[in-house]
Amino acid sequence: MDDQQPDHQHQTVPSDMTLRVKALESLLVEKGLVDPAALDALVDTYEHKVGPRNGAKVVARAWIDGAYKNRLLADAAKAIAELGFLSTQGEHMVVVENTPQVHNMVVCTLCSCYPWPVLGLPPVWYKSAPYRSRAVIDPRGVLKEFGLDVSPDVVVRVWDSTAELRYLVLPERPEGTESLTEEALAALVTRDAMVGVAHVKAAQTGGKP
Amino acid sequence: MNGIHDMGGMHGMGPVQVEKNEPVFHERWEARTYGLTRAIGAWRKWNIDTGRFGIEQIAPADYLRMSYYEKWFVRLVELLVKTGLVLRSEIETGKPDPGATKMKPPLTSDRVSAVALNRGIAPSFDPNIAPRFKTGQNVRAKNINPTGHTRLPRYVRGKVGRIHVDHGVYNFPDTNAQGLGEKRQHVYSVRFAAPELWGDQASPHDFVYLDMWDDA
């Protein structure tokens, strides 16, 4: 795999991409266009500091504090900033609430728009052709593949992120969690539930994506 | 443009495949490509709409075959060359042009935490720009087929929806992507009933909400 073939520009073997990205990075560093330490810090931010645990804290707070939930649904960016996850002007967020009558799910049919500050970078399936093509025309079929059977009389709302607004689903709080602390509740909330392709389950032990 | 990126409503793409315990990046080069793209963004040589248009201009067959971060890599190289930050010959040799002077990166590691989560979207409140539509009003999406960038997906063109909420004022991607001005205007969440989009076989209980601009 060390043999680089210039006429196979779109070769997809990883070693090829490794070499090409390495070459570009060293060129950009040598030209003074990027600071390698800044690259490290950017990668570290999304690998270790930002992710669905942030969103889970927002959801748990909304579940235990009705006033916070109202603020979250009225002005999501501001309410999320209260928990320290984004600068007030940095994001334009909308939180949509699941209820027994309404199920919400989020997609970006045109690219990969996703609420980075609260969920981190999107998983591959969210950016994939199957999800992007089908979420708007067959939402119930997609949900079924995720193991979610939505009753025919429940309204399904699909949010296609076509502008700079970013959507987060506020899932339903599962029954039997009345005695749990805010931290314990946050541990139940999954990434998939906040995209709207899963319910939160009381039995789940948490920590999953 | 009527590109392959505009996938909403297409058939034949197969089932959604979910990877358990998926890492943020699968390979180091993906992480570096992500970091390079964000760090180069600090030069402000192109905006978020130019960036999206860059991905859309990848040929359809390549678009479907390439992984997500391969597309990011191809876009980065194209935009670096197009904006003159890097010469094509430098990409080919991997070395700075002998005549090039060394620059100073605008994004240093101490500033990353401040900018990493900020997409730099301007505040959306602007009382000087009047909305063309009102909440609750029925609207028909334009039937346009521009060869440039647009955020109006094909599946909604010509369809009738209802203004759900006015989000305030944002740049207009159709012009902003090509350096033709920000043309700030109101963006609305517009609700479309599934049967309007897909026909009578769609559930009357399904709705798709899109964010749409005054001009498109």
Rounded distance, CA A199 to CA A98, Å? Answer: 9
What are φ and ψ of residue B30, in 5° steps? Answer: -65, -45
Which residues in chain B touch residue A12, judged by CB atoms under 8 angstroms apart?
A: 65-67, 70
Band (B75; pLDDT cuts 50, 70, 90): very high
Q: Residues with Cβ < 8 Å from A98, sequence gap 6 or more?
A: A104, A169, A170, A171, A172, A196
Task: Quote the pTM value.
Answer: 0.94
Nearest of B179, B192, B212, B190 to residue B83 by alpha carbon:
B179
A166-170 and B206-213 as β-strands: parallel, antiparallel, unpaired? unpaired
User: Would residue A58 be called left, alpha or beta, if left means φ above 0 and alpha means ψ between -120 and 50 degrees?
Assistant: alpha
> Residue A105 to residues A119, A145, B6, B66: CA-CA distances in angstroms?
14, 14, 19, 26
Return the structure tokens found at B53: 């248009």
Band (B42; pLDDT cuts 50, 70, 90): very high
- Is B16's CB within 8 Å of A131's CB? yes
Report the SS3 class of residue B165: strand
Across A92-119, b (16+ Cβ under 10 Å) vs e yields bbbbbebeeeebbbbbbbbbbbbbbbbb
A residues 114-133 near B, CB within 8 Å? Answer: 116-117, 120-121, 123-125, 127-133
The residues facing B166 across adjacent strands are B188
> Residue B216 to residues A67, B143, B151: CA-CA distances in angstroms?
37, 9, 8
pLDDT digits (tens, 9 = 90+) for A96-119: 999 999 999 999 999 999 999 899
Under 8 Å between Cβ of B32 and A43: yes
A93-97 and A166-170 as β-strands: parallel, antiparallel, unpaired? parallel
Chain centre distance of CA A21: 26
Across B91-114, b (16+ Cβ under 10 Å) vs e yields beeeebeeeeeeeebbbebeebee
Q: Does A80 contact B at CB distance below 8 Å? A: no
pLDDT of B150 reads: 98
Report the SS3 class of residue B16: coil
To the nearest whole Å, the CA of B199 is away from the closest chain A CA by: 10
Give the position of tokens 């609207």.
Answer: B139
Choice among A181-190, B120-129, B160-169 with the minimum mean pLDDT: B120-129
pLDDT of A4 reads: 45
Which residues in chain B touch residue A42, judged by CB atoms under 8 angstroms apart?
A: 34-35, 38-39, 112, 116
Which residues of A are part of the catalytic machinery?
Answer: 108, 111-113
Q: Does A27 contact B at CB distance below 8 Å? A: yes
- Is A38's CB within 8 Å of B170's CB? no
C-alpha triplet B137, B138, B140: angle, nearest 5°: 135
Higher pLDDT pick, B7 / A2: B7
Rounded distance, CA A14 to CA A105, Å? Answer: 33
Q: Which of B18, B90, B112 sits opposite A125 (nearest CB)?
A: B18
Q: Does A148 contact B at CB distance below 8 Å? A: no
pLDDT digits (tens, 9 = 90+) for B11-30: 999 999 999 999 999 999 99
pLDDT of A87 reads: 57
- Is A136's CB within 8 Å of B31's CB? no
To the nearest whole Å, the CA of B153 is away from the closest chain A CA by: 7
Rounded distance, CA B134 to CA B183, Å? Answer: 20
Q: Which of B97, B102, B124, B211 to mutate to test the interface with A (most CBs of A within 10 A)?
A: B211
Sign of the dihedral defined by the CA atoms of residues A181, A184, A188, A193, in that order: positive
Nearest of B165, B180, B158 to residue B131 by alpha carbon:
B165
CB pairs under 8 A between A and B: 273
ipTM reported for the complex, 2 dp? 0.97
Q: Which pLDDT tens digits describe chain A residue by residue (209 residues)?
A: 444 444 445 545 557 999 999 999 999 999 999 999 999 999 999 999 999 999 999 999 999 999 999 999 999 999 998 998 875 444 699 999 999 999 999 999 999 999 998 999 999 999 999 999 999 999 999 999 999 999 999 999 999 999 999 999 999 999 999 999 999 999 999 999 999 999 999 964 544 45
C-alpha triplet B5, B7, B11: angle, nearest 5°: 140
Rounded distance, CA B21 to CA B189, Å? Answer: 33
